[in-house]
Structures are given as C-alpha cells and as structure tokens.
Structure 1
Amino acid sequence: MSVTLEGFHAVKHALRFGAEVDPVVVLDAAKAVAFARSHAPDLVGVFEQRARVVDAAEFVRVVGRAHPTGVGGVARRPAEPGFGARTAPLVLLDNPRNLGNFGAVIRVAAGLGAGGVVSVGDVDPWHPNVVRGSAGLHFAVPVGRLDGVGGIEGEVIAFDADGEDLRDARIPDGAVLAFGSERHGLSDVVRARADRVVSLPMRPKVSSYNLTTSVAMALYHWELFRRAT
C-alpha cells in the first residue's frame, strides 16, 4: 500500500526514517534543493539526484493537492508492526475522532521516543489527514490499530481527571499510556483494562487539555524521570 506525502517536511521525515519514497516530485528543482540545504542538509543529495520536476497538474495528480513548498511524494506503507516487548511507553488512543490531533500525537511520540502509537476504534491510523498531521513521522515510530485491548502487553496507565496526580506517579518503560477521545474520554472497556488511572496537573476552572498536549505531558514526564534515575 502507498502513502501520499504532502510537502517538504513530510518527504524529509519519511526519507530520514528509511521510507521507500518513489517518486519524489517537485515543482522547482532549485527551490527544493534550497529547502534541503536550509532544513535538511543530510538530504541535499537525494533532492539533487532523485527529485522529478513536474508541472502543477501532474503534482496534483501525484500528491492529491497543491502544496506551498512544491514538494511531495509517495511512500510504501510499512508492514503492520508488533507491539510486544518495548523499551519505551506505547501510546494508546481510545477511539480518536480528530484526525489532525491523531497525526500530531504521532509527531509528539516520534519526537519523545515513544515505543509506538496504536488506536482502538474505526479510524485508520494511516488516513491521509493523520499522515498530514504527523508531517510524515509515521515512519519514525511504529503506528497501528488494535481490535481490542484484551491481549495488550504492559502496565496500562489510563489518563483521566479522577486519577492520582501524575506528579506522584512513575511511568515504567514498558507501560501503555491510554488516552480517551477528545469528546467522550475513555471507554468502559479501556478503563476496565487499566492497571492505574492518573491525572494531569491542571489549574482549577480549566476543563481539559488538547489530546496532543496531554500525550506530550505524559511522555515528557516519563522521559524526565527516566533520565533522573
């Protein structure tokens, strides 16, 4: 299966993390190489040698839409990963509804070195809007979908407002960090599977955080105390 990459940064990240990107299409070769020199010097040679110059119509045909950077590509989607033994927490999204948030979570997980991002529900983690939100960082971290949480490995730590304060908790490397949907929160099934429920510190009268912010706070807490031990 193929994955469309929209924009320079999506192509850059896919290439950096070993994706098979073919073709790489650009509207202006000199502009694309200049982007590489300023934002990804390690990929200058790739853009010089492999980028195929196309007109606007062909660009839209390949990528699906225009893009301000004039860069796009098509990558091979990797095989469905396994999520067994891990050295970093796995992020579990319980029936996420906002595709842009889903992609942004993958971006955060890639940046903080999570063990992967999985979802439960009907949303395809490789939906074009999710890939757009991740800026191509699907290739930097294992991404997949589970049919259920019954057989998932590791301590499941669910995040909810009625849990213990995260500041008093420690997150083990092999944990599963479960986050509910933006509107409905954790499902009964995921909450029942949780070994612990923790809450993020929040000022009174503030109702909630954005999903991506919540995941970032949790992973940063894990990384911060991991470095301290």
Structure 2
Amino acid sequence: MTDSPAPPPPSGGDTVLLDGFHALKHALRFGAEVRTALTTDRARALDLAAELAPDLTAALDALLTEATPEELRGLAPRAHPTEVAALAVRTPRPANLAALHSRPRTAPVVVLEDPRNLGNIGAVIRLAAGFGATGVVTTGTADPWHPNAVRGAAGLHYATAVERLDLDGLPPGPLYALDPEGEDIRALTLPDDALLAFGTERHGLSTELRTRADHLVALPMRPQVSSYNLATSVAMTLFHWGGPR
C-alpha cells in the first residue's frame, strides 16, 4: 500500500510536528529545540512522563501547555491517542550533511532509493536510530521529515542524520546495495563506513544505483518468497553489521 506524500499541516517553516508523547520524549532526549507543546490533559501527560520518561519530567512540566481538543487539533489534525503534540525546530541541513559526510565514519548510512510509503521511511529511521547508524538518506520526492514519517519514527529523527539527497550527492563510502542476485550477506563483513542501499518498495534498485554499487548483497530468503518489507530488510542488514565481529 502506498502512502503518498501529502503537504504537512502549517507548522512555521523550519519546524516539524511531533505527534504524540513518544515523539516529544525522543525529540527532547536527543536535543531538539521544542517551541510549543500542547496536551488536553496536562496531569495525565505528566503521569505518563513519570512512568515512561522520569528523566524528562521536569522539562515536560515546564514545557507542556494545556489546550482544548480543538486547539490541539489545530496543531495536529489527527490527534495521537496520548493527546500530546508539539512543534520542534528541524535539524539544520548543514548539521545533517556534516554528520553524513564525516570521515572516518564509525557507523553506516542507510540509503532509501525513492521510497513512497512515509510509514516505511519512519520505521527505517527508528531502526537507524536504535542501531546507532550515522543517518538515513532518501532520494526521490518524499520528504523524510514529513509529519507522517516523523510519527512513524516516534520522533527519532533527532537521534540520527536524516536528509533527502540525489544520487550524485551521496556521502562517501563503499556502496552495498541489497539485491536478490547479490552475494549472501552472511558471507560478508559490512564495514562501518558503508552505504547500505535499498531499492523502491515495488521495483527494487534502479539500474543507475545498481550500476554504482561496489557490492550487491542478498538477504537469505526461502524459495517462493518474493521479498521482505523494507523496514525488515533494513533491520536484518543493520543487525548483521552490528552483530558479533
């Protein structure tokens, strides 16, 4: 199912919508500048903080403003079940590019070629943050900072470098592209400075990206099974990179 990119709700240019308590929690933990945070039930939100994020209780106490349901939906039209929404400053592009192009790089960069499903993008960013990847680069038209992607990532865009680039602007490093005709990943050691490239959800790698690849890599798969979900493929690849050396 394709989640077509749609215009985000008005959010002030350089700000991004944090939809839900967990997105706000992660953004704060990884240094986001939060400009506005609303909730329809401040006491409930602070109880949630005490239970799930005691390290942030004081910060949330100072930040959260109680709002009516109508005011909250003015910020987040599709309100999260936690009834919390916030606006945070988007990580500046120069800072993300500096992280992606840093040398030596101690963790891979995930490259998603022309992804279309914003939920998939968010899920991959969440995985990259969890594994400590340097960042996630997307090509194509979908904005990886779209509110639907930020929602899918639970605000973890601030824990890794997330940018949209064209293929000519990819960071340096050996390019390992996932392809069914590649070498079994179990026979390989993925270097820390690798670019791990994944093709589109429907068509796989483009000819251009496949040609650019230094290595084609295949995930183990039972015969007659056609493919894995994009986020599953990324998870398997990052787990292989981060496993026992």
Tell me the TM-score normalized by structure 1. Answer: 0.96
2:162 corresponds to 1:143: yes
Question: How far apart, in 1, do the equivalents of 2:56 and 2:43 lie?
Answer: 14
Q: Does 1:50 align with 2:63?
A: yes
Aligned to 1:216: 235
The aligned residue for residue 7 of structure 2 is: none
Q: State how far apart, in whole Å, the 1-side matches of 2:43 and 2:226 are.
A: 48
**Residue 150 of structure 1: how far off its partner (Å):** 6.1
Contact preservation (8 Å) 1:149, 1:193: no
2:225 corresponds to: 206
Pairing 1:126–2:145 present = yes
Q: Does 1:69 align with 2:82?
A: yes
Task: Give, in whole Å, the separation in 2 of the partners of 1:183 and 1:66.
Answer: 30
Letter in 2 for 1:16: R
Q: 1:185 aligns with which of 167, 188, 204?
A: 204
Identical pairs, percent: 54
Q: How many residues align structurally? A: 226
Counterpart amino acid of residue 209 in structure 1: Y
2:47 maps to a residue whose letter is A
Structure 1 residue aligned with 2:52: 39
Kept in 2: contact 1:107–1:134 (CA 8 A): yes
Shift of 1:64: 2.9
1:206 positional shift: 1.4
Question: Which residue type is aligned with residue 24 of structure 1?
Answer: A
Paired residue type of 2:91: P
Gaps of at least 5 residues in structure 1 are none
Contact map agreement 1:156 1:177 (CA 8 A) in 2:
yes
Amino acid at match of 1:181: T
Tell me the residue number matched to 2:35: 22
Cα RMSD, aligned residues only: 1.1
Q: Which runs of 5+ in 2 are unaligned?
A: 1-13
Say whether 1:115 aligns with 2:134. Answer: yes
- What is the distance in 2 between the residues matched to 1:176 and 1:7? 31
